[in-house]
Structure 1
Amino acid sequence: MNVVGIVVEYNPFHNGHLFHLQESIKETDADIVIAVMSGNFLQRGEPAITSKWNRTKMALASGVDLVIELPYVFATQKAETFANGAISILNALKCNTLCFGSELGVIDPFVATNEFLLEKKQEYDQLIKKYVKTGVSYPTAMTLAFKELTEGKALLDLSLPNNILGFHYVKSIALQKAAITPHTIKRTSANYHDEDFSSPTIASATSIRKAIFSNESIHNITSYIPPCTVEGLNHYIQENSILHHWEEYFQLLKYTVMTMTLEELRFIYEMEEGLEYRMKKFIGESTNFKEFLEKVKTKRYTWTRLQRVCTHILTRTTKLQLKHMNSNETSPYIRLLGMSKSGQNYLRSIKKHVPLPIVSKLSSFKHPFIEVDIKASFTYNMIFQEPNRSYLIKQEFAQTPITV
C-alpha cells in the first residue's frame, strides 16, 4: 500500500493546495494521504484564519484520509524544528513517501544540498556565526553563509521559502533514518509571499487572507478556493461572526505585555537579546498590532520571529517548558483530528505497529506538550463572545476525530 504524507497549514485551503494534493496522489500512486497540519497557531507566528477543526473538514472533503495535528511546540518554530516534528509523525504512521511543494520542483538538488552541507557542516556553522555577528537575523545569516559556501556550485536556492522547508524535510528524513522517499512538486502561478492576485484561479494563501480582511468578505476570492472552503468559511463566519487574524488579539497581547514584568517576559520562549525592553517600551503607545511590530522591529529580528515571540507571550510559553526541545526533537504523540473511512481502516491496520500513542480525545491523555496545546487553544478562543468561547474551549477536550 502506498501512503503519501503531506505537511500543511491550509490557511485557508485553496486551489493551489488542491493541486498539490491531487498531484501528490498522482506522483506517488498513493492509496492513502496523511496530512500533518498545524493547529490553531502557525509557523509564521500567526493565528490560523479558522480553527483546526474547520480546516480539518476542508482537508477531508478534498481527499485527505488522515489529518494529524502538528503540536504547537513544532508548529510555531523555525523550519528545522517544524520539519523534524512533522517527519517524525509521518514516519511513525508508516508513510513511505513525502510530497511537498517547492519553487524548484525537482528532488535531486534537495538531496545533494543536504549531503553537501553535512560534509561542510563545521565550515557552514562558522560562516553563520560570522554573519550573525554583523547584526543580521539568523535566517539571513544562514542564507548568506550558504551563498558564500556554495558559490559556483549548482545546488538548491535556499533563499526561497518552500525550498527552505523542503530542504529541512529531506534533512529530517535523513537524520531520523526514516523509511520515507521524498518527492517535490513545483509551485504554480503564485509564490508563497505574493500579496496580490496574478492568476485567475491560483493565489497564495497570503494574498487570499489579505483580500478577505481588506474587504471583510469572501465573495471576491471564490475563484481561488474550492467549494468546500467557501462552505467552510461561510459556516465559520455564521457560527462565530469572526475570522482570526493578529489584530483581533492585539488588546489581549497589549494587556499581557503591560502586566508582565521584564523578568517574566525574559523567560518567554524565543525572547532574547533584550527584546523584552523594546516590547515594554513600545506596547503602551501602539494602537494596533502592525504598528507595534513596526516599532519593535530591527534588522536582527524578522517579522516572522517577532510574531512568534508575540504568540508565545499570548500563550505564556516559557523557555523552561520547552527546555527539552532541540533540533533533533521528535513528536511524543499523534493527535488525530479527522479521518475518512479509508483512513480509519488504514489506521486500524497499522495501530499495533505505531510506536507513539494515538490521541483521539484530550481528556484521556497527558503530556507536557499537550498542556502547551491546551493553552494555545484557550488563547485562540479568547476573542469569541460568550457562549461561543466556553463552548469552543470545552470542545478542545470533548471533540473526537471528525469522520467522513
Structure 2
Amino acid sequence: MKILGLIVEYNPFHNGHIYHIQKAQSLDQFDYTIAVMSSSFVQRGEPAIIDKWKRSQIAIEYGVDLVIELPFVYACQSADYFAKGAIELLAKIGVTDICFGSENGDISTFINIAQTLFENQESYDSYVQQAMKKGLRYADACNQALQNIMHQEIKTPNDLLGLSYVKEIIAHHYPITPHCFLRTNTYHGLDLKHIASASAIRHAIKNHLDFAHTLPHFELYQNDLYFMEDFFPYLRYQILTTPPYELKQYHMVDEGLEHLLYKSIHHCQSMNELIDSLSSKRYTRPRISRMFIHILMKNTKEDIQEAMHLDYLRILAMNERGRKYLSLIKKTCPYTLVTNFSKHRHPALDMELKATRLLSLLSSSPQDFIQKEFSHIPLIQTFDL
C-alpha cells in the first residue's frame, strides 16, 4: 500500500491547505491520506485559533482519511522536536510518503543536506554549540554550521521544518519517501489573496478584516477564538506567585531567564510587551512564547522528558476509509491506537488534558470544552459542526 502522510497545524485551515492536500495526493496513487496535526497549541507557541476537533473535521471534509494528534509535548517545541514527534508517529502508523510545502521546493536539496549532516554529525554539533556560545539563536547557529560544512543556507521556517523532517527520516532509517513542492505565498506575508498565509488570516481575524474568501467555513471564526495575549493575566499571576528558584524548573526557563522574567513582569502590561522585553539575539519570539505556555502549565523539564516516550497514536478524526485502514493495521501497529481518551494512560495524555484545561480558560463553555476530550467521537460521517 501507498500511504501519504501530511504534517499539519491548520491554524486556521485555509485555501492553501486545500491546495497542499490536492497537490500531495496528485504525486502518486495513494491508498490513504493521514495527517498528524498539532493539538491545542502550535509550534510557534500560541493556542490554535479554533479547537482541534473542528480543524480535524475540516481536514476530513477536504480529503484526509485519518487525523492523528501530535501531542502537546512535541507540538509546542522547536522544529527538531516537532519533526521528531511527527515523523515518529507517521512511521508507526505505516506512512510510506510525506509531502510538505517549502520555499526551496527541491526535495533533493533537503536530502543532500540531511545526509551530509548525518555523516558529519560531530562537526555539525560542535559548530552549533560554538555559535550558540557567541549568543546566536539555535536556528541561526544551525544555519551557520550548515554554511561551514556545505556552504549552503536554510533560513525560512518551512524550509527549516522540512529539513528537520528529512533529517529524522534519514537518522532513523524510516521507510518513508519525502516530497516537497514550492509554496504559493510567503509564510509571513499579510496579503489576503485567495491563497493567503495563515499569519495573514490570523491577523485579519484578530483585526476584524474581511477574510471570508481565504478559507472554507468562515462561520467557524465568529466565536470562541483563542489568542495568546488573552493568557496574560494568568501568566502574570503565575510568575508573580512563583519564586525564581521554582520558575527555573519549568521547561525552557534556562540560563537565568527566571530572574529576567520576574523583573520584567512587574512593568509589562501585555503579552506582546512581555515577549518583546525578553526577545533577544538569542531568544526568538516563538521560543519565548513556547516557554510561557510551559510556565502556564507548570511543565517541568522532567515532565517533558517523561512524556516524550510515546507508545500510542491518538485518533482525532476519520472517515470510513480511515476506519478501514485502522482495522487493517490494528494487529501490526506497534503503538496503541487510542480513540477513547480514558482507556489508555500515558504522561503525554495527562499533559494533553492539562493543555486542554488551560485553553478552556478562554472558552465560553469551559466544562463542555474539557468534556470533549472524553466524549468526542472521531468517526466523521457528515460535515456537521
Per the alignment, residue 354 of structure 1 pairs with 333
Shift of 1:330: 6.0
Per the alignment, residue 178 of structure 2 pairs with 182
Per the alignment, residue 218 of structure 2 pairs with 230
Deviations 1:349-378 (A, max 9, x none): 111111100111111111111111111110
Cα distance in 2, alignment partners of residues 277 and 213 from structure 1: 32
Cα distance in 2, alignment partners of residues 265 and 294 from structure 1: 19
Please tell me whether the aligned partners of residues 297 and 358 of structure 2 are also in contact (alpha carbons under 8 angstroms): yes
Question: What amino acid maps onto 1:397 in structure 2?
Answer: F
Per the alignment, residue 300 of structure 2 pairs with 318
Among candidates 354, 364, 376, match of residue 343 of structure 2? 364
Note if 1:192 corresponds to 2:187: yes
Cα distance in 1, alignment partners of residues 122 and 344 from structure 2: 41
Please tell me whether the aligned partners of residues 4 and 28 of structure 1 are also in contact (alpha carbons under 8 angstroms): no
SS in 1 for 2:26: helix
Per the alignment, residue 165 of structure 2 pairs with 169
Deviations 1:174-194 (A, max 9, x none): 222211111111101x11122
Deviations 1:124-149 (A, max 9, x none): 22211221121122221111221232
Cα distance in 2, alignment partners of residues 36 and 28 from structure 1: 20
Deviations 1:210-235 (A, max 9, x none): 111012x6xx1122113xx324334x
SS in 2 for 1:286: coil
Shift of 1:66: 0.3
Shift of 1:298: 2.1
Please tell me whether the aligned partners of residues 28 and 97 of structure 1 are also in contact (alpha carbons under 8 angstroms): no
Cα distance in 1, alignment partners of residues 16 and 33 from structure 2: 17
Cα distance in 2, alignment partners of residues 84 and 140 from structure 1: 20
Please tell me whether the aligned partners of residues 211 and 221 of structure 1 are also in contact (alpha carbons under 8 angstroms): yes
Question: What amino acid maps onto 1:233 in structure 2?
Answer: Y
1:3-402 aligned at under 5 Å gives the runs 3-151=3-151, 157-188=153-184, 190-194=185-189, 196-197=190-191, 200-215=193-208, 220-226=210-216, 229-234=217-222, 237=223, 242-324=224-306, 331-385=310-364, 388-402=365-379
Shift of 1:277: 0.9
Please tell me whether the aligned partners of residues 297 and 355 of structure 2 are also in contact (alpha carbons under 8 angstroms): yes
Cα distance in 2, alignment partners of residues 77 and 29 from structure 1: 33
Shift of 1:200: 2.9
Shift of 1:91: 1.0
Q: 1:29 to 1:330 in 2, by over 3 A?
A: farther
SS in 2 for 1:34: strand
Shift of 1:51: 0.6
Question: What amino acid maps onto 1:118 in structure 2?
Answer: F
Please tell me whether the aligned partners of residues 323 and 379 of structure 2 are also in contact (alpha carbons under 8 angstroms): no
Please tell me whether the aligned partners of residues 76 and 82 of structure 1 are also in contact (alpha carbons under 8 angstroms): yes
Deviations 1:311-334 (A, max 9, x none): 101111111112347xxx663210
Cα distance in 1, alignment partners of residues 74 and 135 from structure 2: 26
SS in 2 for 1:320: helix
Please tell me whether the aligned partners of residues 100 and 162 of structure 2 are also in contact (alpha carbons under 8 angstroms): yes
Cα distance in 1, alignment partners of residues 377 and 260 from structure 2: 42
Segments of 4+ moved more than 3 angstroms: none
Cα distance in 2, alignment partners of residues 351 and 82 from structure 1: 25
Question: What amino acid maps onto 2:147 in structure 1?
Answer: K
SS in 2 for 1:207: helix
Question: What amino acid maps onto 1:186 in structure 2?
Answer: L
Task: State the TM-score, normalized to the length of structure 2.
Answer: 0.95
Deviations 1:356-404 (A, max 9, x none): 001111111111111111111100111224xx11111122122231423
- Aligned residue pairs total 381
Please tell me whether the aligned partners of residues 111 and 166 of structure 2 are also in contact (alpha carbons under 8 angstroms): yes
Cα distance in 2, alignment partners of residues 206 and 159 from structure 1: 18
Q: CA RMSD in A?
A: 1.5
Cα distance in 1, alignment partners of residues 144 and 175 from structure 2: 32
Question: What amino acid maps onto 2:188 in structure 1?
Answer: H
Q: 1:66 to 1:322 in 2, by over 3 A?
A: same
SS in 2 for 1:101: strand
Deviations 1:272-308 (A, max 9, x none): 0011111111112221100111112222111111001
Cα distance in 2, alignment partners of residues 64 and 18 from structure 1: 10
Cα distance in 2, alignment partners of residues 253 and 113 from structure 1: 40
Cα distance in 2, alignment partners of residues 165 and 7 from structure 1: 10
Cα distance in 1, alignment partners of residues 44 and 347 from structure 2: 23
Q: 1:330 to 1:105 in 2, by over 3 A?
A: farther
Please tell me whether the aligned partners of residues 205 and 221 of structure 2 are also in contact (alpha carbons under 8 angstroms): no
Unaligned runs of 5+ in 2: none
